[in-house]
Amino acid sequence: MDNNFMLYNTLTREVQPLVPHEDGKLTMYTCGPTVYHFAHIGNLRTYIMEDVLEKSLRFYGYDVRRIMNITDVGHLSSDADTGEDKMLKGAKREHKTVMEVAKFYTDAFFADCGKLNIRRPDVVEPATSRIADFIEMVSALLDKGYAYVSGGNVYFDTGKLDDYFVFSSAVEREQLMVGVRDDVQEDENKRNKNDFVLWFTKSKFEDQALKWESPWGVGYPGWHIECSCIAIKNAGEYLDLHCGGVDNIFPHHTNEIAQSESYLGHKWCPHWFHVNHLNDQSGKMSKSNGDFLTLSVLEERGYLPLAYRMFCLQSHYRKPLVFSYENLDNVEGAYEKLVKKIATFSDEGGLDRVAYDEYRKKFVDAIASDLNTSMALTVVYDVLKADISDKTKRALITDFDGVLSLDLMTAGERLAESKGGADDELTAWIEEKLTERKEAKKNKDFAKADAIRDELTAKGISIKDTREGTVWEKI
């Protein structure tokens, strides 16, 4: 197949065609969540954009196999090898075991993904399910001379590589080599400043909950080895596309490349996709500072999860995105209008093949131009306005929604169906009450929201909050 799907590559700093190792097939690896807390809406931005990328590649014709890890051990409070294990921190905070915490937040993560129509990757593996393979990989790195044991830990020796800082410009390299980061305490066991831990047996934290036997003593893996190993075990020696958020570029992805290529003895993954951060007005949203927005908070305030998905799709993944309720309000209004309009299309008339092909091509051109999702949404609006049969419009929007996953065909229909059997005046009154109730929920005035529900019930109207919004019917 033609390989003209253009995508920015962090490794080459260019928008370039994605070229899989095996024609027509594409292996894609995504760094998964660290499950010590809820995912915040910043994390979810990254997963939404990776999901739309995966679906775009399938739409383009690739047979995609997507792999994701779940970080349930080894990710320390700092991305360098210092601080307490994040999982242990979560367990102490909640007076639970590490595995209970991991299960709870893994389930919560996939529940959020479900609400956002994020497809579950083909392979999902928690780090703790692959310990024997990590040990095998660390042993091989020691055998090949790329690793050393010091002070009880196994380290990767970055001094063995000609080019360790693969993502960094000359200036950045200089800063990374000499700069001392505030959050990093020097580890005297390291031969080179940027060496990183492959396996810990000695950590300052004696109460590390999960430990395994290894040739170097009882211990646990470093964070980076899990992604290299889970990717190689599932995708083989050549990975086509690796994804994550921009904070993963250094040190995590830099270290993944170092250890994977040293282990394999050849180049590993040619194309790297990174999603820029979602920020709030005060700066980057981060799980570790505890003050962050989750999807549940948005729902409690009356927002539709899919409105948040559309909010993300409206801006380009490489640009930082600032979250504000005002912007989300605008997007949600546009979303509701859009799906209601689509719901009015009948299934009549013939399919206009020429128009269908023309708009489909426009859509493909948008997604294959460095994943231009806002342009793809514009194509949806172009279809709505086009002078073509409703049947053609429905066919196109159904296809596009396979990528956008905004429930474009069903959300409005459900809202419309729920109104069967009421006259215009009653409908207008109910709509007004529902808007008031939504406003009350957004302002956390739940007493008022409940009172409105009661008022509706008294008039014989039952309401239900669904993923697509509040629907109502006559009792």
Tell me how far, at minimum, the Cβ of 286 lies from ligand AMP, in Å: 6
Assess 229 for contact with Zn ion (CB under 5 A): no
Assess 42 for contact with ligand AMP (CB under 6 A): yes
Are 395 and 363 in contact, with CB atoms under 8 Å apart? Answer: no
Partner from ligand AMP, Zn ion, none binding residue 453, C-beta < 5-8 Å depending on class: none
Q: Which two tokens stand for residue 19?
A: 């070229």
Assess 315 for contact with ligand AMP (CB under 6 A): no
Residues 244-263 that bind ligand AMP (CB under 6 A): 244-245, 247-248
Assess 46 for contact with ligand AMP (CB under 6 A): yes
Partner from ligand AMP, Zn ion, none binding residue 227, C-beta < 5-8 Å depending on class: Zn ion
Assess 43 for contact with ligand AMP (CB under 6 A): yes
Assess 278 for contact with ligand AMP (CB under 6 A): yes
Tell me how far, at minimum, the Cβ of 26 lies from ligand AMP, in Å: 19
Tell me how far, at minimum, the Cβ of 63 lies from ligand AMP, in Å: 24
Tell me how far, at minimum, the Cβ of 41 lies from ligand AMP, in Å: 8
Of 221-229, 280-288, 326-334, 351-359, the window that binds Zn ion (rule: CB under 5 A) is 221-229
Binding Zn ion by CB under 5 A: which of 73, 197, 210, 227? 227
Tell me how far, at minimum, the Cβ of 270 lies from ligand AMP, in Å: 20
Of 27-35, 51-59, 126-134, 427-435, the window that binds ligand AMP (rule: CB under 6 A) is 27-35
- Burial category of 347 from C-beta neighbours within 10 Å (exposed 0-12, middle 13-18, buried 19 and up): exposed
Phi, psi (deg, nearest 5) at residue 30: -125, 130
Of 278-286, 348-356, 359-367, 377-385, the window that binds ligand AMP (rule: CB under 6 A) is 278-286
Q: Are strands 147-150 and 153-156 parallel, antiparallel or unpaired?
A: antiparallel
Q: In whole angstroms, what is the distance from residue 308 CA to residue 278 CA?
A: 12
Q: In the chain, what is the greatest distance between 2 CA atoms, to the nearest angstrom?
A: 79
Q: Tell whether omega for the bond before 121 is within 30 degrees of 0, i.e. cis.
A: no
Assess 31 for contact with Zn ion (CB under 5 A): yes
- Please say which residue, 244 or 305, places its beta carbon nearer to Zn ion: 244
Of 2-10, 205-213, 281-289, 311-319, the window that binds ligand AMP (rule: CB under 6 A) is 281-289
- The residues, ordered by sequence, that sit 6+ positions from 421 with a Cβ below 8 Å of its Cβ are 473, 474
Of 15-23, 212-220, 227-235, 316-324, the window that binds Zn ion (rule: CB under 5 A) is 227-235
b/e string for 388-401 if b means 16 or more Cβ within 10 A?
bbebbbbbbbeebb
Q: Can you tell me which residue has the tokens 């514009």? A: 378
Of 37-45, 205-213, 311-319, 399-407, the window that binds ligand AMP (rule: CB under 6 A) is 37-45
Report which DSSP code applies to 121: P
Tell me how far, at minimum, the Cβ of 183 lies from ligand AMP, in Å: 15
184: how many CB neighbours lie within 10 A of its CB? 16
Partner from Zn ion, ligand AMP, none binding residue 86, C-beta < 5-8 Å depending on class: none
The side-by-side arrangement of strands in the sheet containing 196-200 is 147-150, 153-156, 196-200, 220-221
- Burial category of 471 from C-beta neighbours within 10 Å (exposed 0-12, middle 13-18, buried 19 and up): middle
- 3-class secondary structure per residue, 330-367: HHHHHHHHHHHHHHCCCCCCCCCHHHHHHHHHHHHHHH
Q: Which residues bind ligand AMP (CB under 6 A)?
A: 31, 33-34, 42-43, 45-46, 71, 244-245, 247-248, 275, 277-278, 284-285, 287
Interface ranges with Zn ion (CB under 5 A): 31, 227
